[in-house]
Homo-oligomer: A and B are copies of this chain.
Amino acid sequence: MLRLALAAVISATPICVFADPLPSWANTETRARIIDFVGAVTDPEGTDYVTPAARVAVFDNDGTLWSEQPVYFQLTFALDRLSEMAEADPSILTTPTLKAAAEGDLQAIVDGGHEALIEVLNASHSGVDVPDFQAAVADWLQTARHPDTGLPYDQMTYQPMVELLRYLRDEGFRTYIVSGGGLHFMRVFAEEAYGIPPEQVLGTYTDTTYEVTNGTPSIIKAPGIAFIDDKEGKPINIERTIGRRPILAAGNSDGDFAMLEWTTAGDGPRLGVLIHHTDAEREWAYDRESPIGKLADGLDKGSENGWVIVDMAQDWDRIYTGAE
């Protein structure tokens, strides 16, 4: 009995972990500010205490949780998928834009602007039920490799951010993705890569239709974009879907400005985080002039808004989850 009792004591004793929650973050002020914020909102004796239910943290994906150069990874997937679909049935390439896309001619898509992009997305992302689409994304992640790093795309997640997500969850936060990327695309890898389940992934979406064929219902991706989860769309989507104002928001471009603005304008302690791509050696360096991930307003007004600007080169000891 005593033995049993002692075993119970041991198993009932919390294991105190003093391990560094953010081992890939350099010992800078950035890191200290994040840890101070988390400490303040989780201290039940402190004036800045926030109940676990209200500990909502939202993260952009492209350029915030994983890389986005030389083009958004989802666009690479779209071209690869179109090329694969065309091998099976060349007749789907009904326009010069689609022919160029299937040949991987990215410049043609860029030159074609918004219309060309929608054409490519429609051809590669619609007319398929959601499970089949997601199986195609999963297959692609297995085989595709990034042209510069040679890594699988879902290994180009930022290790410091993966640690931050886990740290926040360990401290009672719920972590969400709120991204301009496609909802169905991101849900395929978000759980394994980031520990974020499908119901906590918000993104851009196409309409879907509900169709019953021979008694079997399916949800089919329709052409066109029904909602763009970018700029003002981000706070709107958060309010609509989560129904709470977050206390922490992280992004990397002016597409995240409204999300950080709305988050940090709330009462009580709030943290806005911007990832500044400053590391041309280990990743990419870009901001004000970049067509992808343009960051100008955030640099101009972020500091006066009290946002933490993460300098990738200085603040991160490590970049990719899949390397080093």
Partner-B contacts on A (CB < 8 A): 2, 4-6, 8-9, 11-12, 53, 130, 183, 187, 197-199, 201, 205, 208-210, 212, 215-217, 219, 232, 235-236, 239-244, 258, 261-262, 265
Contact = CB atoms under 8 A, between A and B. Distances in A.
Contacts of A242: 198-199
Nearest to A3: B5
A210 B4 contact: no
A172 to B, nearest CB: 14
Given A8-B12, A265-B217, A232 B210 contact: yes
Contacts of A219: 235-236, 239, 262
A205 B239 CA distance: 11
A122 B208 CA distance: 26
A209 B24 CA distance: 39
A107 B53 CA distance: 42
Question: Nearest 4 pairs between A and B by C-beta?
Answer: A198-B243, A210-B232, A5-B5, A8-B9
Contacts of A262: 210, 217, 219
A216 to B, nearest CB: 6
Given A210-B235, A216-B265, A232-B210, A243 B199 contact: yes
Nearest to A13: B8
B2 A244 contact: no
Nearest to A131: B245
Contacts of A197: 53, 243
A217 B9 contact: no
A208 B9 contact: no
B236 A210 contact: yes
A212 B261 contact: yes
21 contacts: A5-B6, A9-B9, A12-B12, A53-B197, A130-B239, A183-B243, A198-B243, A199-B242, A199-B243, A199-B244, A208-B240, A210-B232, A210-B235, A210-B236, A210-B262, A216-B265, A217-B265, A219-B235, A219-B239, A219-B262, A241-B241
B232 A209 contact: yes
B183 A208 contact: no
| Interface core residue of A11, A216, A236 (most chain B CB under 10 Å) | A236
Nearest to A11: B12
Nearest to A244: B198
B5 A258 contact: no
Contacts of A235: 210, 217, 219
A205 B4 contact: no
